[in-house]
Structure 1
Amino acid sequence: MQQSDFAYELAADSAGLPLAVSIFADGDALRADMEEDVRSAGLNVRECGDLSQLLAGDARALGELVLVDCPHPDAAAMATLSRLDSRSARSGARLVISTTLDALDAVFGCCAQSAPQILIEPLRAERVIALGRVLAGIPKMRLRELSEDDRLTLLRLTEQVGHIAERLDKLDKANGGWGQKAGGGAFRFESPKEGYRAEDKLIRKPRPPLPDARLVREIIARRKARAEYFDPELFADPAWDMLLDLTAARVEHQRVSVTSLCIASGVPPTTALRWIGQMVDSGLFLRVEDDADRRRAFIELSDSAADAMARYFAEIGTEAMALA
């Protein structure tokens, strides 16, 4: 198989100027690492400061890429993230926000417009990969335009690198490496192919009813039970696990938070967030704002996805459902 030829030059805008990056994070060591990685990627650091500078709310010219580490957002931080999200959506700037699992729902709820990358307690390698994904997604910043095949290959490579980084982190903790936590990498599993749309795959006919929620929960429990005897990575299937969880929730008329859905996916939260974003884009999932609190959002099945799940269970039959 021929190796893909990626020709990289200094990442620049249409005027040939290096793309500017704003960095906001508490902790001198973390900021230094982020700044070093940004400069190594050929980008220009416009501003590098702590969170208080971002939260001050002063008018400032932010970069085309904004990196924010916000592990424990309070009300002021959430309001700032909401404004930053809106501003980025209008300007076309890219956002990469790192946070904790406990704060995920709050951060996700603040970012309804700009489609940021959200990283959960990331390794340094995962932050670097996030930069690579930003570069791959911005047009006219290469010496040579990437074809769609090249772009997909690059994204697959970033997932493989993330998996390797996770493995190395487990071995390297005693030697002062990049490892920041013991846990899964961010990009271990391939995402659905770009351009996939759920409606292209669904047949529009009268829909049979969804299965009993108790049966779907039993299927989920049986799938999870395998982890007691085998390495969970052998059976990782986040898309299907999330579809099952949302199917049961729809029958039960329950709302599912993004944190809950990440847990249901059975993969690291950052990986789950990428899957959720891809499945929202493909029309399988919907992001639904909380009417009582606009800072919160839930995930639910789209009607087309519910139609597909109902037809699937109707086709395989009740006796075979427990083997799903």
Structure 2
Amino acid sequence: MEADFQYEPVRDAAGCQLAVTVLADRAHIRAEMREDAAAAGFRIRECCSLEEYAQGPLGALGDLVLVDCAEASADALALLSRLDMRGGKAGAQLVVSTTMGALDSVFGCFSMSAPQILVDPGRAERIIAIGRVLARVPNLRLREMGEEDRLMLLRLTEQVGQIAERLEQLSPGQREGGGAFRFESPAPAWRGEGEDYEVARDGSDRPRLPEAAVLRKLIKARQLRVRFLDAQLFADPAWDILLDLAAARAERQQVCVTSLCIAAGVPATTALRWIGQMVDADLLVRVSDPHDRRRAYIALADRTADALARYFAAVGATELAVV
């Protein structure tokens, strides 16, 4: 007998079926998102283009909001900012797909609603994102599924993600930042640390980060290895991310999400996963642009910068950079 993995209608505590708002300018993407949300058990509240939604009457937002924003136009970004505010206040869950070129602008629009942000995703990635939303619905039940079925579904979800990642690695444009990956915008409590990019000084003998030239030399030395050895043998995205942000901090430079993905030295999918994990661990923070509230950067948390300063002092980073 073939297993039935379809969800029953998703309902809230009062027994009302949860609704979804689908917004996408690309018709085929809009149709896919509508179909997948309906299959997951959501009632379609609204399904239209971003422009139609922006110009229409202000109606209630769905419990789930699926948005596809391929171009970072002024009107689109204004709408995303509105959705972020409304979603954050209403407790709606947002899944926003965009392109690599628009990532920085789209990312900067969200500070209240903590959406899942997908970049150039395939349909599988969108389905997985909806699945993550379903996982947060209390007391959700699947039809005719025992514990073994649940484990099988979990493994299947993981395998879909792994297959998508392998396909991305085969894509010619992946190294330039293409591919499908998820990046969750910071939760409302995720704070920026202003414009102070130096390790805090409290009058003690705490070490400071090395000069930017020393850090850049260490980064260059790491990058040179791929000329002589298999790059996969030395892939360490977390360390490359920390090094790049440490050098930027020493230079008092701000780092955008796309730039950090490139600095990680791995496919964008892997880089974004590591950035997300490091944000969750409070190693990295979001820094809002004081001149443009819709733009945000990534920086080291103060405690991370302090830990790196102590590490570089312990290993003698200046001497290492000379070697």
TM-score by length of 1: 0.76
**d(CA) in 1 for partners of 2:266, 2:18:** 33
Structure index of larger Rg: 2
- Whether the 8 Å CA contact 2:22–2:47 is kept in 1: the answer is yes
Q: Percent identity?
A: 58
* Correspondence for 1:46: 45
For 2:57, give the aligned amino acid. D
* Correspondence for 1:80: 79
- Whether the 8 Å CA contact 1:19–1:44 is kept in 2: the answer is yes
Deviation at 1:272, TM superposition (A): 3.7
- Whether the 8 Å CA contact 1:88–1:114 is kept in 2: the answer is yes
**d(CA) in 2 for partners of 1:156, 1:275:** 21
Q: Structure 1's 157 and 243: CA in aligned 2 closer, same or farther, altered over 3 A?
A: farther
Q: Structure 1's 247 and 57: CA in aligned 2 closer, same or farther, altered over 3 A?
A: farther
Deviation at 1:301, TM superposition (A): 0.9
* Correspondence for 1:111: 110
User: Which runs of 5 or more structure 2 residues have no equivalent in the other structure?
Assistant: 144-149, 172-176, 183-201
* Correspondence for 1:26: 25
Determine helix, strand or coil for the equivalent of 1:297: strand
Deviation at 1:17, TM superposition (A): 3.1
**d(CA) in 2 for partners of 1:46, 1:125:** 23
- Whether the 8 Å CA contact 1:96–1:117 is kept in 2: the answer is yes
- Whether the 8 Å CA contact 1:13–1:141 is kept in 2: the answer is no
- Whether the 8 Å CA contact 2:19–2:45 is kept in 1: the answer is yes
Deviation at 1:81, TM superposition (A): 0.7
Deviation at 1:21, TM superposition (A): 1.1
Tell me the alpha carbon deviations over residues 267-311 of structure 1, each in whole angstroms, 9 at most, x when there is no partner: 444554444344333221121111111111111111101011112
- Whether the 8 Å CA contact 2:286–2:297 is kept in 1: the answer is yes
Equivalence map 1:259-278=2 (5 Å): 259-269=258-268, 271-278=270-277
* Correspondence for 1:311: 310
Determine helix, strand or coil for the equivalent of 1:279: helix
- Whether the 8 Å CA contact 2:284–2:299 is kept in 1: the answer is yes
State which drifts further: 257-266 or 227-236. Answer: 227-236
**d(CA) in 2 for partners of 1:258, 1:171:** 23
For 2:14, give the aligned amino acid. A
* Correspondence for 2:11: 12
**d(CA) in 2 for partners of 1:289, 1:63:** 28
Deviation at 1:154, TM superposition (A): 8.5
* Correspondence for 2:135: 136
**d(CA) in 2 for partners of 1:265, 1:14:** 43
Deviation at 1:97, TM superposition (A): 0.9
Tell me the alpha carbon deviations over residues 77-104 of structure 1, each in whole angstroms, 9 at most, x when there is no partner: 1111111101111111111111111111
For 1:186, give the aligned amino acid. F
* Correspondence for 1:68: 67
User: Which runs of 5 or more structure 1 residues have no equivalent in the other structure?
Assistant: 1-5, 145-150, 173-181, 188-203
**d(CA) in 2 for partners of 1:235, 1:171:** 19
Number of residue equivalences: 288
For 2:220, give the aligned amino acid. A
Tell me the alpha carbon deviations over residues 137-196 of structure 1, each in whole angstroms, 9 at most, x when there is no partner: 34343479xxxxxx9x98887454212134357899xxxxxxxxx954537xxxxxxxxx
Deviation at 1:117, TM superposition (A): 1.0
Q: Structure 1's 15 and 89: CA in aligned 2 closer, same or farther, altered over 3 A?
A: same
- Whether the 8 Å CA contact 1:14–1:141 is kept in 2: the answer is no
For 1:127, give the aligned amino acid. R
* Correspondence for 2:295: 296
* Correspondence for 2:35: 36
For 1:308, give the aligned amino acid. A
Determine helix, strand or coil for the equivalent of 2:45: strand
Q: Structure 1's 165 and 96: CA in aligned 2 closer, same or farther, altered over 3 A?
A: same
**d(CA) in 1 for partners of 2:20, 2:265:** 33
* Correspondence for 1:196: none
For 1:255, give the aligned amino acid. Q
**d(CA) in 2 for partners of 1:171, 1:257:** 26
Q: Structure 1's 207 and 161: CA in aligned 2 closer, same or farther, altered over 3 A?
A: farther
For 2:96, give the aligned amino acid. I
Q: Structure 1's 289 and 263: CA in aligned 2 closer, same or farther, altered over 3 A?
A: same
Deviation at 1:228, TM superposition (A): 4.4
**d(CA) in 2 for partners of 1:224, 1:160:** 31
State which drifts further: 238-247 or 162-171. Answer: 162-171
- Whether the 8 Å CA contact 2:181–2:272 is kept in 1: the answer is no
Tell me the alpha carbon deviations over residues 15-61 of structure 1, each in whole angstroms, 9 at most, x when there is no partner: 23332111111232222211222122222222211122222252111
* Correspondence for 1:147: none
Q: Structure 1's 60 and 117: CA in aligned 2 closer, same or farther, altered over 3 A?
A: same
- Whether the 8 Å CA contact 2:64–2:93 is kept in 1: the answer is yes
